[in-house]
Copies of this chain bind each other. A is one copy, B any other.
Amino acid sequence: MDNRTETAAVDTDRLPGTYRRATIIGGGVIGISWAGLFLAHGMDVVVSDPRPDVEKLVLDGLEEVVEGLAGLGLPTEGLADRLRFEADLATAVADADVVQENGPERLEVKQEIWRTVERAAPAHALLATSTSGIPATAIAQAMRQPERLVVGHPFNPPHLVPLVEIVPGERTSRATVEQARDFYTALGKQPQILHKEIPGFVANRLQSALFREAVHLVAEGVVTEQELDDIVTDSIGLRWAVAGPFRTFHLGGGPGGLPHFIEHLGRAMEATWPSLGSPAFDETTVARLTEQARQAFGDVPVGELAARRDRAQVALMRVLGDGHDPGTPAPTRD
């Protein structure tokens, strides 16, 4: 694919013929978002969730993701026509080409789910878990075919944000990893295959590192939450939407690039790392964060704020195209 805009135009022919039927395990926020994306790409989708009210939850949730999908250029007419519900897990996956699991983040629950799925799903099906924190190695310990399971961790919401972190477990096969990469790429995502399992994977660790310092600066009274958010959107957010941190500092090094940066500024930065903050969510800090959140965001319901954010996100994605190596046609990535 050449760029994100082009990807966004639906082209179900790009989905390998084997990916026609998806089963989504778990009808929560992440499951709904995946379901919307899969449906908009022409797949048939079964949602499996034991909650009695799952149909209403998912159908209501689908309505909320439709605007974003349409913004990406995907067709959104009659999505629910290709959506079914099946509480029984083994029945739900019996015809699946893809199983994307979004169950509770508890090891024993996921192990139980996958023990059932690997017995009931077709041999060719891609088996992926959306887990944000449990390694495939641990989940697959209970499986007879651990080579079939891979982490396909989206960044919320999956139907909008391009990243999917593909994290193989120790016994995941290369074929499964490539299957996952091809599938997510065909859906217009930007999958990244991690070379090692690490708690939190990459995006959330980076986010967590920055947020830790953000909490410190607000707790210390240097800025308010609203001021810190504005500082981020007006500087590093804007920057990192078009060039990641290494590219940014490569350019910061002038003609000498990153090596020059490290020698002249990086070492000075390293010297300051021990003085970054170590905040805690103690009573005082939580009270301050809560009060400032009320002041900054309290006037508008969260759902409306999220819709505004997603609208801005879509507008930005349309401008950025592929986003890699800004200003030039995106390279073919495989």
Contacts and interface: CB of A to CB of B under 8 A. Distances in A.
Chain A: interface residue count, which band? 35 or more
A241 B237 contact: yes
B231 A306 contact: no
Copies assembled: 2
Interface string A101-114: 00000000000000
Contacts of A272: 199-200, 208
A258 B293 contact: yes
A205 B276 contact: yes
Interface stretch (A5-13, A35-43, A242-250): A242-250
Interface string A11-26: 0000000000000000
Given A222-B198, A257-B297, A192 B227 contact: yes
Instruction: Tell me which of A220, A232, A316 has the highest count of chain B C-beta atoms within 10 A of its own C-beta.
Output: A232
Given A192-B223, A238-B241, A250-B296, 20 more contacts: A155-B235, A162-B234, A195-B221, A195-B222, A229-B244, A229-B246, A229-B247, A232-B244, A232-B245, A233-B320, A234-B323, A237-B239, A239-B313, A241-B241, A250-B297, A259-B286, A270-B280, A309-B326, A312-B326, A315-B319
